[in-house]
Chains A and B, each alone.
Chain A
C-alpha cells in the first residue's frame, strides 16, 4: 500500500512538473541568447541530477543496511581512517565535472556577451533602455523615437541594448529573449539580444528598486522588420515630440502607462557613456554638458593615472 501511494505521488509530481515546464519562461526561449542559456540550464540540471541521485542512493543504501535495528547485537563498527582510492575518486570526479563546466561556461559567457552568432554581420538595432522610478524609457536613436514601458523589436536582427538608470540600480530582463543586466546611474552597460520569432513577451526590472518595484515591468513585442518599420513610420506621424520639460515630468517617481514620442531624450540628457560617463560628470548629473571642456581635462588625468 505504501509503495503504491509513493508511486502515485511520484507520478503526480513528474506530470505536474512536466506540464509546468512547457510554459516556464526561461525554458521557453524565443531568441538565440535565451536558447544558449536554456541549453546551459538543461545541461547543468542533467549532470547535477546524476550527482543528487548518486548521493541519495548511497544514503538510502547505508541507512537501510547499517541501521541499528537491523544489525546483530554484537556488531561493533570498525575504525576506518580512510581509503586513498575512494578519496581520490571523490576528488577527481568533481574536478572533472567542474573542468567540463568551466569550458562550457567560458564558451557560453563569450556567446551571451557578443552579437548572436546567427546574426553576425548584420547591422544591430540600438536601443537605449533607461530606467527611472519606476518606468522604462526606450530610445531608438536611429529611428529617432522613444517609448515608455513598452518595447517593439524586429525579429531576426541583432539588438543592442544600452542600459542605464536615472536612479537606483535596476536590472533589464526579458526572460524569453535572454538573461538580465544591470542598469546603473553613472555608466552604460550593453546587453546583446535577438528575437527569432514574432510574439508578445514580458519584460521587467529584476533588481529591487524601491516602493514601485513590483509593477516596474514592460511589454515586449517582437515583429518582422517590415511591421517594425511600419510602426516607426506610424509613430513619427502620430506621436508628440519629446521635450526636455516633458521628459523631466516623466522622470518623476511613479508609474505610467505606455507612452510614445518622436525624438529621444538623448540630445538633451545624454547617456552616461564616453565623455558623459559617471566618473567624469559633476554635480549636475547626466545632464551636465555645458562644461565639457573642463571635464575633458579631468578625463585626461584619468587615463594617465589609472
Chain B
C-alpha cells in the first residue's frame, strides 16, 4: 500500500481517497433521501385529520436543547479530527467520546419528546401528518443511533491500533457522517419545528 506523506493521514493512500470520495457521493444520496422525506412532509403537513397540528405538540425548549447538543457534538468531532491531524491520540479520543455522549444526550431528548407526543395523542397512526413527522424524525434518529455504534467501534479501533492511515480514514469518514446529520438536523429544526411552531 503506497502511503503519500505529503497529505493528511486520512487522504494518504489511494484507497483512502477513494473511500472519502465514495462517502461524499453517498452523502449526496442521503441528501436526496432526506429531500424526499421533506417532500412528503411538506405535502402531508396539513393533512392532520382529527389529530393535532404541529404547533399543538411542538415545544421550543427540548427542540432548542436537541439543536444545541447536536451542534456542539458536530463542533466537538471537528476538534477531534483536528486533534487527529495533530497526532494527539488522547485528545482525539476524548473529543470522540464527548461527541458520542452529546449524541446520546440528543437521543435522550428526542425519545422523551416522542413519549410526550404519544401522551398527547399524536401517535404514528394518528394522521398522515403525525406519520410523516415520526418517520422523518425517526429516520434522522436512526441515523444518529447507528452513528453511535459506528463511533464506538472507531474509538475502540483507534485505542487499539493507534492513528494509522486506516483508522484516520475511518475516523474522518465518520466525522463527515456526523456533520451531515447535524446539517440534516438544521433543516429539521428550521422547516419542521420553527415553521410548525410559528405556523408560517
Contact between A283 and B50, CB atoms less than 8 A apart: yes
Contacting residues of chain B (128-148) with chain A, CB-CB under 8 angstroms: 128
Per-position binary interface string of chain A over residues 295-306, scored 1 when its CB falls under 8 Å from any chain B CB and 0 otherwise: 000100110111
B46 within 8 A of A: yes
Bound-complex Cα distance A279 to B127 (A): 10
Interface presence of B53 (CB below 8 A): yes
Least distance between B84 CB and chain A CB atoms (Å)? 45
Partner of A305 from B49, B50, B128, B200 at Cβ < 8 Å: B200
Contact A305 B45 (CB under 8 A): yes
In chain B, positions 33-91 with a C-beta closer than 8 Å to chain A are 45-50, 53
Q: How far, in angstroms, from A298 to B52 measured CA to CA in the complex?
A: 9
Contact B50 A279 (CB under 8 A): no
The residues of A that contact B46 with a CB separation of less than 8 Å are 279, 301-302, 305-306
Q: A304-B199, A305-B199, A305-B200 are in contact. Are A282 and B49 (CB under 8 A)?
A: yes
CB neighbors of B among A253-306 (8 A): 278-283, 294, 298, 301-302, 304-306
Max chain B CB contacts within 10 Å: which of A302, A304, A305? A305
How far does the Cβ of A299 sit from chain B's closest Cβ, in whole Å? 9
A282 and B50 contacting across the interface, CB-CB below 8 Å: yes
Determine the chain A residues whose CB is within 8 A of the CB of B199 once the complex forms. Answer: 301, 304-305
Complex interface: chain B residues within 8 A of A298 (CB) = 48-50, 53
Assess whether A281 is in contact with B49, with CB atoms less than 8 Å apart: yes
Min CB distance, A277 to chain B, in Å? Answer: 10
Chain B contact-residue range equals 10 to 19
B192 to chain A, nearest CB (A): 12
Residues of chain B contacted by A301 (CB below 8 angstroms): 46, 48, 53, 199
Complex CA–CA separation, A278 to B48 (angstroms): 11
Task: Please indicate the chain A residues that have their CB under 8 angstroms from the CB of B53 in the complex.
Answer: 298, 301, 305
B116 to chain A, nearest CB (A): 20
- The closest CB in chain A to the CB of B47 belongs to A279
Q: How far is the CB of B124 from chain A (nearest CB, A)?
A: 15
A282-B128 Cα distance, complex, nearest whole Å? 11
Chain B residues whose CB sits within 8 angstroms of the CB of A279 once the complex forms = 46-47, 49, 128
Complex CA–CA separation, A302 to B53 (angstroms): 9
Contacts of B48 in A (CB 8 A): 298, 301
Instruction: List, in ascending order, chain A residues with CB within 8 A of B200's CB.
Output: 305
A212 to B200, CA, bound (A): 46
Which single residue of chain B is at the shortest CB-CB distance from A301?
A: B53
- CA gap between A279 and B49 in the complex, in Å: 6
**Please, how many angstroms separate the alpha-carbon atoms of A306 and B199 in the complex?**
9
Report A-chain residues with C-beta under 8 Å of the C-beta of B50. 282-283, 294, 298
A45-74 at interface with B (beta carbon < 8 Å): none
The docked-state distance in angstroms from the alpha carbon of A305 to that of B47 is 11
For A306, the closest partner residue in chain B by CB is B46
**Complex interface: chain B residues within 8 A of A302 (CB):** 46
Cβ contacts under 8 Å, A281 to chain B: 49
Contacts of B47 in A (CB 8 A): 278-279
Give the nearest-CB partner of A305 in chain B.
Answer: B199
A279 to B129, CA, bound (A): 10
Q: How far is the CB of B128 from chain A (nearest CB, A)?
A: 8
Give the CA-CA distance A306 to B47 in the complex, in Å: 10
Q: Compute how far the CA of A302 lies from the CA of B128 in the bound complex, rounded to whole angstroms.
A: 14
Q: Which of A280, A301, A304 gathers the greatest number of chain B CB atoms within 10 Å? A: A301
> In the assembly, what is the distance between CA of A218 and CA of B47, in Å?
34
A304 to chain B minimum Cβ distance, whole angstroms, is 6
Specify which chain B residues have a CB less than 8 angstroms from the CB of A283 in the assembled complex: 49-50
User: Which A-B residue pairs are the 4 nearest by beta carbons?
Assistant: A282-B50, A279-B47, A302-B46, A282-B49
Q: List 16 A-B contacts (CB under 8 A).
A: A278-B47, A279-B47, A280-B49, A282-B49, A283-B49, A283-B50, A298-B48, A298-B50, A301-B46, A301-B48, A305-B45, A305-B53, A305-B199, A305-B200, A306-B45, A306-B46
- The chain B residues found within 8 Å of chain A, CB to CB, are 45-50, 53, 128, 199-200
6 more A-B residue pairs beyond the given contacts A283-B49, A298-B48, with a C-beta to C-beta distance below 8 A: A278-B47, A279-B49, A282-B49, A294-B50, A298-B50, A298-B53
